[in-house]
């Protein structure tokens, strides 16, 4: 296997597909339309923001000349940049606000390590408008992703952390910080370095005095799953119009997602997101027991996703790193599929002459949505049962001889009874591979 390019076993792939199906179902229930953009984009589009120019894979045929048609193309490293280009090119055909979800592979030339890959799958949702995007869409994005994460009930506990750039920017302006952007960038390092190191950076790189640095760190300590954070922030004695707006917006997001069970939604005032284009709500997500991965689901509001010179297209969105989320759980043995094949039934083959009849039985099951396959060779039934066991197929179907009724055997329990391929149905849990979650001590 090539380093940084994940490769899944069949049972693991079933789990990934189950995750993608649940995500897609949740997104579509909320009216998000599916979108797919090309894997390749013009380099000038990919490098417009200039943040990861060293990580872009260039698309080029082995012996292509500089004037080849694929010259100047690169593989997309996220789904936001292609989406911005898509909105500009198709704005005349879209109804705004435009709500889309996009689930695709992306490529990034990073150094491979746990949670970071050169090829990975992302699942993004965004709402984009022309010129003005009402704030209630921030609340909606948080609620939709929280519901999508809650539907992945086989994962370790997840916490969707929310903050607001207006809140922290207004706070830093209120204390008289000379370089607000620098303060944000240093506070954003709290997950990676110690509080003392961040304090030193605040008083050094960000030019804060000791008192200003201390109150910024006190702000970053505030967390709550309800709106009690508002009083905690006000108790710090800082006032600014932007701070007040940010507090109101963050409170609305927390209240809007509070009723969703299965995932924790938390106001976390240390979250800043290092990218400058975020202007309001920001999101990060941590998985219990896997905090070392960092955020597995991030995003926020950007008031200038794209502009064509006449109109600006603000948006709010969030991106789930599907590969980043699943691969560590696969590698640790915490997550797998209940079987490695889709087949719920192996139709036994009494003899080669009986293959047509066994094929007819399998087809009758398939017509009713039951995955079935016919034994490859007419071995003794005991060997055919062992073949099903090795493949993880739960049921073996025995065609009746000389007019006798067919029988089906649950090879796990040993229970066997008469059955008709036009009416028999296995338990719901056996119809397709299930996700198996196992707690592993680390």
Query: Is residue 170 a contact partner of residue 240, using CB atoms and an 8 Å limit?
Result: yes
**325 is an annotated ligand-binding site residue:** no
Query: Is residue 183 a contact partner of residue 173, using CB atoms and an 8 Å limit?
Result: no
**301 is an annotated ligand-binding site residue:** no
Residue-range domains of the chain with CATH: 10-36+80-337 (3.30.930.10), 40-75 (no CATH), 345-437 (3.40.50.800)
**80 is an annotated ligand-binding site residue:** yes
pLDDT tens per residue, range 14-68: 999 999 999 999 999 999 999 999 999 998 888 876 556 678 998 887 776 666 6
**26 is an annotated ligand-binding site residue:** no
**264 is an annotated ligand-binding site residue:** no
Q: Rounded CA gap, 10 and 325, in Å? A: 18
**122 is an annotated ligand-binding site residue:** yes
pLDDT tens per residue, range 241-253: 999 999 999 999 9
Give me the pLDDT at residue 276, please.
67
**108 is an annotated ligand-binding site residue:** yes
**78 is an annotated ligand-binding site residue:** yes
275 vs 442: which has the higher pLDDT? 275
pTM (predicted TM-score): 0.91
68 vs 116: which has the higher pLDDT? 116
pLDDT tens per residue, range 273-324: 765 678 999 999 999 999 989 999 999 999 988 888 899 999 999 999 999 9
Within 13 Å of residue 147, how many CA atoms lie on the same side as its CB? Answer: 17
63 φ, ψ to 5°? -115, 30
Other Cβ atoms less than 10 A from the Cβ of 54: the count is 7
**79 is an annotated ligand-binding site residue:** yes
């Amino acid at each position: 296997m090539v380093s940084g390019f994940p490769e899944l076993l069949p049972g693991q792939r079933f789990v990934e597909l189950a995750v993608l199906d649940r995500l897609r179902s949740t997104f579509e229930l909320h009216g998000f339309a599916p979108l797919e953009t090309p894997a390749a984009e013009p380099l000038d589009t990919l490098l417009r923001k200039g943040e990861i120019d060293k990580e872009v894979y260039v698309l080029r045929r082995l012996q292509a000349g500089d004037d080849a048609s694929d010259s100047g193309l690169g593989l997309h490293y996220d789904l936001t940049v292609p989406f911005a280009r898509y909105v500009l090119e198709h704005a005349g055909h879209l109804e705004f606000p435009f709500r889309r979800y996009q689930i695709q592979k992306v490529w990034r030339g990073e150094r491979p390590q746990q949670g970071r890959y050169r090829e990975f799958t992302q699942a993004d949702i965004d709402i984009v408008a022309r010129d003005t995007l009402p704030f209630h869409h921030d609340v909606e994005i948080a609620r939709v992703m929280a519901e999508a994460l809650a539907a992945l009930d086989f994962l370790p506990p997840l916490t969707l952390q929310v903050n607001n750039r207006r809140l922290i920017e207004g706070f830093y302006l209120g204390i008289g910080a000379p370089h607000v952007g620098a303060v944000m960038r240093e506070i954003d390092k709290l997950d990676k370095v110690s509080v003392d190191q961040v304090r030193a950076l605040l008083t050094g790189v960000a030019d804060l005095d000791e008192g200003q640095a201390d109150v910024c760190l006190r702000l970053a300590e505030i967390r709550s799953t309800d709106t009690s954070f508002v009083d905690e922030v006000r108790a710090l004695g800082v006032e600014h119009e932007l701070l007040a707006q940010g507090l109101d917006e963050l409170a609305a997001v927390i209240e809007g997602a509070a009723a969703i069970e299965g995932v924790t939604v938390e106001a976390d005032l240390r979250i800043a997101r290092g990218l400058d284009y975020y202007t309001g709500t920001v999101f990060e997500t941590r998985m219990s027991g896997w905090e070392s991965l960092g955020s597995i689901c991030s995003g926020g509001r950007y008031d200038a996703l794209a502009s064509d010179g006449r109109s600006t297209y603000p948006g709010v969105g969030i991106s789930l790193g599907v590969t980043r989320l699943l691969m560590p759980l696969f590698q640790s043995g915490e997550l797998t599929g209940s079987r490695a094949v889709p087949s719920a039934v192996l139709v036994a083959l009494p003899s080669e002459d009986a293959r047509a009849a066994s094929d007819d039985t399998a087809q009758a099951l398939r017509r009713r949505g039951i995955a079935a396959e016919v034994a490859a060779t007419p071995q003794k039934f005991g060997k055919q049962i062992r073949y099903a066991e090795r493949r993880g197929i739960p049921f073996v179907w025995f065609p009746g001889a000389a007019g006798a009724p067919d029988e089906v055997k649950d090879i796990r329990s040993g229970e066997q009874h008469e059955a008709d391929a036009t009416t028999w149905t296995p338990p719901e849990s056996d119809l397709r591979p299930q996700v198996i979650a196992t707690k592993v001590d680390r």
